[in-house]
Chains A and B, each alone.
Chain A
Amino acid sequence: MDKTVSTLADAVADIHDGATVMIGGFGGSGAPIELIHALIDNKPMGLTVINNNAGNGHVGIAAMIENGLVAKMICSFPRSSNPVAFTEAYNAGKVALEVVPQGTLVERIRAAGAGIPAFYTATSYGTELAEGKPVEEFDGKCYVRERWLKADFALIKAQQGDTFGNLTYRMAGRNFNPIMAMAATRTIAQVSAFVEPGTIDPEHVITPGIFVDTMVEVPNPAQEETLIRDGVVYP
């Protein structure tokens, strides 16, 4: 078994117009910038993108928006230090927005990966984000029913990966990545270092390889925050 491919272009080649794409990361931490930029080179259109945020500066998801790839964002917080790409596209009616509370967002993704079509949460009860959703009382407290959230593809960033797809992450770069890996029909990981099976101690595997389909090695990946501070515009 070998889930590796040799180029970023190969890794994202199957992502088609109209696909729903989960993208890991929280702000720039754990964001698979190189995979995102390879996707921009392919220019699939009409994508629904699921991420905690909606891009920053002119790289990564912000560059996807500026290059017209994104029809809809599903996120918790479409603001950043430089949110101009999303803000202009949203105000021009070019990008739709579904705002989801952060914990509900990740649990909807987790539920999809775990085969659970819906769950109840106290989060958002009594607010406008719960409007139209079923409410049920459990043990005297009211909870809002939320549906699972699936995707055709997940783009994630990992630190180490073996050819079976077992992954580790780096620091707070873990965030949404292991959860999104479970919830997409096809999970594509950019990995900072490929290793042989057996190199990662099984006690330390965070994402078991069963959740990973395709991997590409990106040694010394760029940090979104550094690109933004350097004023980089992609492409």
Chain B
Amino acid sequence: MSTIDTIKLSNARIAWRAAQDIEDGAYVNLGIGFPEMVAQYTVEGRTPVFHTENGVLGFGPAPAKGDEDWDLINAGKKAITLKPGAAFFHHADSFAMVRGGHLDVAILGAFQIAENGDLANWSIGKGAIPAVGGAMDLVQSAKRVAVVTDHVTKKGQPKLVQRCSMPLTGVACVTRIYTSLAVVDVEGGRFLLREKLPEISFDDLQALTGAELITQGDVADLVVPDLD
């Protein structure tokens, strides 16, 4: 196990960090899988409203096993519950919320993010059956488009790159990246390093990043409580 594996944040801790930036009253869409974890770490005292593409605003966690109602699911086809103030709507309204720029934040996973904000997260390319869902709609139109991801691939290759080599989901769309090592903003076509784990040096982080990391003033320590 490399040093990186011993210090890097778990998915839960990445999700916790992403949740700190979700403001009270924000309308939020979380991608299927890992991004859904962000909801578990909603900051005490804030009430974000979660949107799911299939026509619900204001849903809560999964019901107890046996209490599922299969007409009440999220975009990942998982059973959900409703919070007070929830609303149902049809798919055209749901994507009017998306396309019309009414969502404050969309949080997605990624295969690659380029320094100009291009995102690749829907297709590994040749040979796979293409399946896009709502990702291309979300990334072009939410006010903030954030990514939660490991800093590198399972093989240790950078996921933050100069140009995506995989099929794009959207161009110049990502605004912030929460990785297992750092928090990086996309600004002016560059990766701007905002926070990094104190256990990793800037040079080591740069070596794991496929494009130049820019800094403006001090880089804050990325500090996340031990959730595991």
Contacts and interface: CB of A to CB of B under 8 A. Distances in A.
B92 A125 contact: no
A55 to B, nearest CB: 13
| Chain A contact patch, size range | 35 or more
Contacts of B131: 76-79, 99
A27 B52 CA distance: 14
Contacts of B56: 171-172
A146 to B, nearest CB: 11
Interface in A134-190: 169-179
Nearest to B97: A103
A230 to B, nearest CB: 12
Contact of B136 (A129, A174, A178, A179): A129
A171 B130 CA distance: 29
Contacts of A100: 132
Contact of B132 (A27, A80, A101, A122): A101
B89 A127 contact: no
B168 A79 contact: no
A103 B101 CA distance: 13
B87 to A, nearest CB: 11
B171 A179 contact: no
B8 interface: no
A171 B68 CA distance: 13
Interface string B121-143: 00000000111111111001100
B225 to A, nearest CB: 34
A7 interface: no
Contact of B54 (A86, A170, A175): A175
B109 to A, nearest CB: 15
A81 interface: yes
B172 to A, nearest CB: 8
A86 B130 CA distance: 12
B70 A123 contact: no
B70 A103 contact: no
A66 B81 CA distance: 34
Interface of B is mostly: loop
B217 to A, nearest CB: 31
Interface residues of B, number: 38
Interface in B111-166: 118, 129-137, 140-141
Interface string A193-211: 0000000000000100000
B70 A206 contact: no
A49 interface: no
A79 B132 CA distance: 10
A172 B134 CA distance: 16
Contacts of A169: 88
Interface stretch (A12-20, A36-44, A218-226): A218-226
Interface stretch (B12-20, B71-79, B195-203, B206-214): B71-79
B54 to A, nearest CB: 4
Given A87-B129, A106-B92, A172 B140 contact: no
Contact of A26 (B54, B69, B170, B171): B54
B185 interface: no
Contacts of B73: 26-29, 172, 225
Given A27-B77, A103-B95, A126 B90 contact: no
Given A97-B130, A121-B99, A123-B136, A179 B90 contact: yes
Given A175-B54, A206-B90, A102 B77 contact: no
A123 B140 contact: yes
B60 interface: no
A77 B91 contact: no
Contacts of A102: 53, 91, 95, 132-134, 137
A101 B71 contact: no
Residue from B68, B70, B134 having most chain A Cβ neighbours under 10 A: B70
B88 A174 contact: yes
Given A76-B131, A128-B167, 4 more contacts: A26-B73, A106-B91, A107-B99, A172-B88
23 contacts: A27-B77, A29-B73, A76-B133, A80-B77, A100-B132, A101-B132, A101-B134, A103-B136, A106-B91, A121-B140, A122-B99, A123-B99, A123-B141, A125-B171, A126-B168, A127-B169, A127-B170, A171-B72, A172-B52, A174-B88, A179-B90, A223-B70, A223-B71
